Structure 1
Amino acid sequence: MNGDWRTFLSDAGACFEETRLLHFGDPDGERAAATGAVISPLTHRGVIEASGADTRDFLQNMTTNDLRQLSESRAQLSALLSPKGRMLALYRLFMRGENFFLGIPGATLEATLKRLRMFVLRSAVTLEDASERLVTLGIAGEDAAERLIPLFDTLPALADDVCHQGGLTLIRLSGLRPRYELYGEPAAMIEAWGRLREEGFTPVGAGPWGWLEIEAGVPSVEADTVEAFVPQMVNLQAVNGVSFTKGCYPGQEVVARSEYLGKMKRRMYRARADGDVLPAVGEELAAAGETVGANAGKVVAAQFHPEGGIELLAVIPSDEVERDAVHLGSVEGPKLRFLDLPYELPAKQ
């Protein structure tokens, strides 16, 4: 994490656990994600920069999405897979000028950078950790667009649209409510922070932003879920994270078979449960009833709901969801109540 950015946030009341921003010391403010306009410094995330004449072709051959659709005005989610089609990393690809950037969880950045470098060989590609130079801010709220107008002459209207101004890059995200990611160098972001606070945005920690990601049905790959899922298990195709027409990349054959042959037996669902202890990412769920004690799925992400209880995304066998008997921790744990996702999946899935 950039030291100047961390010092600035600490002076603004931020409390940290290592690189993760926990809160700003205001419990009521932390609940504002459900109803108000919020800004969340995503200090637990980092950025990889890729540059050089061969970069687009290199990334096109490594990742699940089609970089022919990527431009300074369009971003995309994409994943790096193992040869067996399992997700090693999930990141947001965007451009600033001629260079490419991957916004990625800090926990998987180093391993992702190392793996990508293995395949550069003689290509004119340079890969480096740009997290000290570019920092990330999450922005959300029903009237967030109106509040952002003083900072941007033009705003991104649709999911994955991108606008640039004054050294800042603003990306519109998918979801039930307007959400954005803002990238910029620390000095520009510190200035933007002041203007966003003037526009009435409430600062919140990583937890409320994580809940907004869950509400939007957007998966993540963290250290404990590396190689746990193929892309369709976490609905990556529903959030425009996979291209089925782009050609070859590591794991592509597995992804293609999953898409065109039969029904996925497991996929990602959104649910709520009672409780005041968050399940860990990668934690297994339990089934009650006829399959008592059976592995009923794996947690992708979990956060406290602003109104109480827990909301989560989990990859679960579809037949267990139909039986409606999935629990956190053990069969004696809280029962999951399944919620709608904000997107449709093909009938065969």
Structure 2
Amino acid sequence: MQDFHFPDPKALDGAAVLSHLGIISAEGADTASFLHGQLSQDTNQQPADQARLAAFCSPKGRMLASFIVARPQTDTFWLLTDAQVLPTVLKRLSMFVMRAKARLSDASGALSAIGVVGASAERLLGEAALSQPWQLAPHAASGGHLVRLPDVLGAPRSLWIGPAEQAQALIANLPALPLATWQWLDVMSGVVRIEAATVDQFVPQMVNYELVGGVHFQKGCYPGQEIVARSQYRGTLKRRTFLLHGQAPIQAGQEVFSAADPSQPAGMVANAAPIPGPGDMAFSALVELKWQALDTGWHLGAADGPALTLGTMPYEVPLGTSDD
């Protein structure tokens, strides 16, 4: 089995401009109730001090987008999503606004998203640093908001969202972090982001979305809700997402094959990024797999493609039975 060497957590330090993300701004008196009826998350009851994950699904329960949802004001929400997915999702969501008092717009030009990680970020933030994952709070010094993200390898991570003109001042006070390093940290966190290559591919549970707080099962109807609920309560899911590592380049949307059944794909790459560090380049990926063959060999792209090694997820992934 191939050994993969991860960076020292102390080396995971600095700030990255998250240019791969876009931001939808939703404003108006009916915004919370409108989003509540469209997303897998309870936005009606979302407090001001908490960010939440959410899925936007097709009527068949397949994810068209994933969001980090922040509520900086009572009638204002920010939806962070993949920048390439944003235009189509914004258009689709806007179709359902109808008479609701809610205005949706692409705020990616006015707002910036910055990822900060490590000791330097903690020192800069000082008392403003948050301690619990998905906490949300204003950052008075910069005029933005902070979202605490799950730690990776013990390294504290936060997401800064705020006016684009203030972002440069924040970045200037921290070491530069390559975007690819931040994307690898996201992979290692086990939280999947829907990309252009994976739109309409996964029911939320296939990418463990209910395990990381992205699905609220008591909130009522939204597109695809019946299928998502059926997958949860009937035990009809046999596909889950796991962490894999490999020496060959890995991209979202690539198929993965199992040695147990080389005649057909056994999964799909959701997200992937190179492992930071010197030496030969290796990759980590979140891969949706048929879990029944979890202990067999995995290969990228074809049954005889580059070998992949099963890694360790940062949370427990329950397995069940299914004929899905």
Q: Structure 2: any 5+ residue segments left out of the alignment?
A: 1-6
**Segments of 4+ moved more than 6 angstroms:** 31-34
Is 1:106 aligned to residue 106 of structure 2? no
What is the aligned partner in structure 1 of residue 237 from structure 2? 264
What is the aligned partner in structure 2 of residue 184 from structure 1? 162
For 1:129, the aligned partner's letter is D
For 1:186, the aligned partner's letter is A
TM-aligned CA deviation for residue 97 of structure 1: 2.3
What is the aligned partner in structure 1 of residue 299 from structure 2? 327
**What is the aligned counterpart of 2:257 among 273, 286, 298?**
286
Instruction: State the distance in 2 between where 1:328 and 1:337 align.
Output: 10
Q: Structure 1: any 5+ residue segments left out of the alignment?
A: 1-30
What is the aligned partner in structure 2 of residue 311 from structure 1? 284
Is 1:155 aligned to residue 150 of structure 2? no
Kindly indicate whether the alpha-carbon contact (under 8 Å) linking 2:250 and 2:272 is maintained by their aligned counterparts in 1: yes
Report 1:1-349 matches (<5 A).
35-98=11-74, 99-141=76-118, 143=119, 146-150=122-126, 153-166=127-140, 167-176=143-152, 177-195=155-173, 197=174, 202-275=175-248, 278-288=249-259, 290-307=260-277, 308-322=281-295, 324-346=296-318, 348=320
Count how many residue pairs are aligned between Structure 1 and Structure 2.
Answer: 307
TM-aligned CA distance change 1:81 to 1:139, over 3 Å = same
For 1:329, the aligned partner's letter is G
TM-aligned CA deviation for residue 32 of structure 1: 7.8
Instruction: State the distance in 1 between where 2:33 and 2:91 align.
Output: 18
Instruction: State the distance in 1 between where 2:10 and 2:287 align.
Output: 21
Kindly indicate whether the alpha-carbon contact (under 8 Å) linking 1:33 and 1:140 is maintained by their aligned counterparts in 2: no
Which digits, 9 at most, give the CA deviation of each residue in 1:159-184, with x for residues without a partner?
11011123111100124331111011
Kindly indicate whether the alpha-carbon contact (under 8 Å) linking 1:175 and 1:215 is maintained by their aligned counterparts in 2: no
Instruction: State the distance in 2 between where 1:240 and 1:159 align.
Output: 11
For 1:245, the aligned partner's letter is Q
Identity %: 36
TM-aligned CA deviation for residue 348 of structure 1: 3.5
What is the aligned partner in structure 1 of residue 4 from structure 2? none
TM-score by length of 1: 0.83
For 2:147, the aligned partner's letter is I
TM-aligned CA deviation for residue 44 of structure 1: 1.9
Kindly indicate whether the alpha-carbon contact (under 8 Å) linking 2:33 and 2:44 is maintained by their aligned counterparts in 1: no
